[in-house]
Amino acid sequence: MRPILMKGHERPLTYLKYNREGDVLFSCARDRTPAVWYADTGKLLGTYNGHTGAVWCCDVSWDSKLLITASADQTTKLWDVQAGAELFTFQFKSTAKSVEFSVGDKLAVIATDSFSTGLPSAIHVKHIASDPSEQCGDSVIEFSPGGRSNRAVWGPLNRTILTGGDGAVRVWDVETMTLINESDKETGHQKAVTSLIKSVDGSHLLTGSLDKSAKLWDIRSMKLVRTYKTDCPVNAVSLSPLLDHVVLGGGPEASSVTNDSRAAAAMFEAKFFHKVLEEKIGTVKGHFGPINALAFNPDGKSFSSGGEDGYVRLHHFDQDYFNIAI
C-alpha cells in the first residue's frame, strides 16, 4: 500500500472520524482546528475555526450536516459541516474529552475530565435541536461516574451510556443514572483506557489501554470476548466493518524511545489482529511517532491513521489484503 500523506495540522493528531457514507474524513488535533478531507483522495476540504485549545474528539450526524467537537478549551461546539460555520457552543468547567451523537442525532453525550480544575469527571447529555436557532446549553442529564472517565459512548437504543477512563469500563442506565454493569477487575484493563469504540452492529465494544492491550467486550453483558496484546501502550483502536480484523496503534512517549531507530519504528506501526483468533496478521509502518488516532472507512476498503508527527496517513488496501489466509 502506498499511503496518501495528508498534512493539514501543525500539532499531533488526536481523533479521526468518517461520515456514514465514508466519502469524507474529519480529523482533530492539538492545533485547535478540526479539518475535513475527501476520504478518497486525501484533499483538504476545509477547517473549522473557533476553538482555543486542543480538540480531543468529534462526531458527525447521520446526514453529515452537523459536526460536534470536544476541546480542552472547556467547550463542545456544533458546526455546519458544509459551511464550516459555528452554530452553538456548550460551556463546561473542565476539559471536554469525548463526544458522540445518539442514534437519531437528537442527543449528544459528552465526557469532561480535567486535572487542572480539580473537578471530578462528569458525563453530560445535551439535547440537539433540529433548528440551530433554538439550541440551548442545558443538560438533559449530568452525573459523575466516579474515578476518571475520558470516554463515553451510547449503548444499544440509547438506553445506556458506556464510560472508560481509569481502567474500568462501566455501563450506566440513562433514565436512572445508576451503574448497571462494570468490567471485571481481573480480566479488564489494568491501566487507563485511552480509546473506546463500538462495532458497526453495536454488539461489541473495543477498548484500548496504556496497559499494552486492547479488549473486545460483549456490549450487553460486558463479558470479555477477546484480548489483543502488544509491546507498547495502545492509544487508538478500530474494527473493520468488512473483515474479522482489528487494528491497534500507539507507542511510547517520544522522550522514552531509545536510539534504536528500528525498534522505535516498530512501536509506531499500525498492528492488525484477527478479531477471533487474536493473532497478529500484519503491520503498516510510516508514522514518525506514536499513533494517536485510527479509523476504518465504513466500506472497509481503506483506513486512516493520525500520529504525533502531525500527519494523517490514508491507506487504500491492495487486493492482497482481502485474500489474507489465516
249-269 pLDDT per residue, tens? 999 865 555 555 555 566 799
The number of angstroms, rounded, from the C-alpha of 258 to the middle of its chain's C-alpha atoms is 28
Give pLDDT, residue 55: 98
Give me 79's grid cell: 458546526
Give pLDDT, residue 148: 86
Give pLDDT, residue 114: 73
3-class DSSP state of 134: helix
Give pLDDT, residue 147: 81
Q: What angle do CA 92, 97, 99 make, to 5 degrees?
A: 90
What is the rounded CA–CA span in Å between residue 233 and residue 169? 18
pTM of the model: 0.94
Which residue stretches of the chain have pLDDT < 70? Answer: 115-117, 253-266, 326
Give pLDDT, residue 234: 97
Q: In what order do the strands lie in the sheet with 213-218?
A: 193-198, 204-209, 213-218, 224-229
Any idea which architecture 4-323 has in CATH?
A: 7 Propeller (2.130)
List, for residues 205-253, the tens digit of each pLDDT value: 999 999 999 999 999 999 999 999 999 999 999 999 999 999 999 998 6
